[in-house]
Structure 1
């Protein structure tokens, strides 16, 4: 997400700030899995609508503060940019959140966070297909390893009849795929629309997409304990708005690939938080599957080494050095 124009200079003056912001993001994103798991009695659609509505309000406040401090106006998407913005809004802030909420009513928070971490592999495949990136052998090996991990997680979390919890696994996989598609869709637009502005519009569109669940949300507000309502507010303010802002501050001083690798810590943080706050841990076989999934992601993201010496030799043979012209002796 975009931040006030002074953010890059602050990050430059404070070398530790990007790491602090990245750590803040990881903890808040991990806490979202725990918060969603805590709200099992809230309908998935109502929870998604409440979260996106609160997030939209907070993001609007961020934009207002940025305008007051920097006099920088909001950038509204134009023409062809609206289609990907709407797509991201419906998929990421709509389908993703509803699917993840429904999944965590069936499987624990730690397992859900592990399954979502297959997203980098899906993103890699989509990048090959739609962004022109070249595939490599490690990608296919990583896919096989990660798929094995997903199968183990699904087996470990399946109930006796093999139905209920397996559906939860499939819902998390749907959320992971939807998230990956959203990342690929929004990438070209971010070159023209600042991330904060795009996130605000996407979150607003996601809120509109979730409006069919407004009746459920009204019922939740009328009948739910105050604690549940505060958890919904927490999800909208911190994992949705604050976490994306802190992520952007870190991104101003760190490469996207280096920062992206840090998200592999989210499952570990989620398991620790779920153990502390919910007294639950995934089955041991789910841990094995989660490790395999993360190893597969790591393998898939490794780039093959180029042989610089050999390539340099071939280049020298095919392209002799140019003849320098000038005075003798010079």
Structure 2
């Protein structure tokens, strides 16, 4: 999950480098590339061909992913990379609350306390970033759309854990990732044909294509394979809590691009985020209910 956090943190500025293209169509293409990368691993695993009764669950999981990435592509041109990375820290708390509803999280104080600590650190990083921008930190339509995508993202590990607990989903993380991405890509692609000017994809540059391949293989296939592996051992809240490292990664990228921005104002948020991650690692694998 530490590797997952680094890959997700790198994806936000990568998306911002792309031309403004139809977001739903881009998401469908991204998922197709991810499935192509996962095919060799998933097809060898037991349970690769799912029973018909499981397909609606895979489709719902895929729509959760499509909702997040579609919002991400659209918001990339209406919000800053760091504001998106900061809003992403709402995902762990959302996943914990949704997990309680699906009975895949255990009520208690320890994990919510860690989530609150990490969220405080992420907000501290957002405050530090706002000091360097004219007009300060504010919420606009781009941030609102991306937050809806964050809700979709939080539901994905909850549905995965619920499906595993019910015995509906296979043990292979590659198979679960392949089918959720595949069905989600098909459904969001069909929607793109109806509501988007997909002909604008013809204006995609070579750089856009390279970025799309990178996002498909590393920021979709690899990250969600890592998340599925972690979901089998951790609760949804604990899995998504590693997202608190995402704004920290964005902060490091900012320092590389603008070394003059380094200052003590970044320290409190960084310390809180790293402390929250250390507590997660120390606590190991919290028990998860199986019903």
**TM-score normalized by the length of structure 2:** 0.71
Residue matched to 1:63: 42
**Contact 2:114–2:276 (8 Å) recurs in 1:** no
CA-CA distance at 1:137 after TM superposition: 8.5
Does residue 95 in structure 1 map to residue 76 in structure 2? no
Does residue 270 in structure 1 map to residue 226 in structure 2? no
Q: Tell me, in whole angstroms, the C-alpha distance in 2 between the residues paired with 1:141 and 1:264.
A: 10
**Contact 1:103–1:169 (8 Å) recurs in 2:** yes
- 1:170-222 CA-partner distances (Å, limit 9, x unpaired): 223222211112221221213432332122111112112222325644432x2
Structure 1 residues 136 and 108: alpha-carbon distance in aligned structure 2, compared to 1, 3 A threshold: same
**Contact 1:123–1:180 (8 Å) recurs in 2:** yes
**Contact 2:177–2:221 (8 Å) recurs in 1:** no
**Contact 2:60–2:184 (8 Å) recurs in 1:** no
Aligned 1:28-39 pairs, distance under 5 A: 28-39=7-18
Which of structures 1 and 2 has the bigger CA Rg? 1
Q: Tell me, in whole angstroms, the C-alpha distance in 2 between the residues paired with 1:262 and 1:148.
A: 13
**Contact 1:77–1:198 (8 Å) recurs in 2:** no
Q: Tell me, in whole angstroms, the C-alpha distance in 2 between the residues paired with 1:147 and 1:238.
A: 28
Does residue 210 in structure 1 map to residue 188 in structure 2? yes
CA-CA distance at 1:23 after TM superposition: 4.8
CA-CA distance at 1:76 after TM superposition: 0.5
For structure 1, which runs of at least 5 residues remain unmatched after alignment?
1-21, 302-330
1:46 to 25, 29, 41: 25
For structure 2, which runs of at least 5 residues remain unmatched after alignment?
281-291
Structure 1 residues 84 and 217: alpha-carbon distance in aligned structure 2, compared to 1, 3 A threshold: same
Residue matched to 2:200: 219
**Contact 1:106–1:168 (8 Å) recurs in 2:** yes
Does residue 133 in structure 1 map to residue 111 in structure 2? no
**Contact 2:95–2:240 (8 Å) recurs in 1:** no
- 1:105-150 CA-partner distances (Å, limit 9, x unpaired): 1222223122212211112222223316224498389669948976
Q: Secondary structure at the match of 1:107?
A: coil
Residue matched to 2:222: 242
Q: CA RMSD in A?
A: 4.4
Structure 1 residues 76 and 234: alpha-carbon distance in aligned structure 2, compared to 1, 3 A threshold: same
- Aligned residue pairs, count: 271
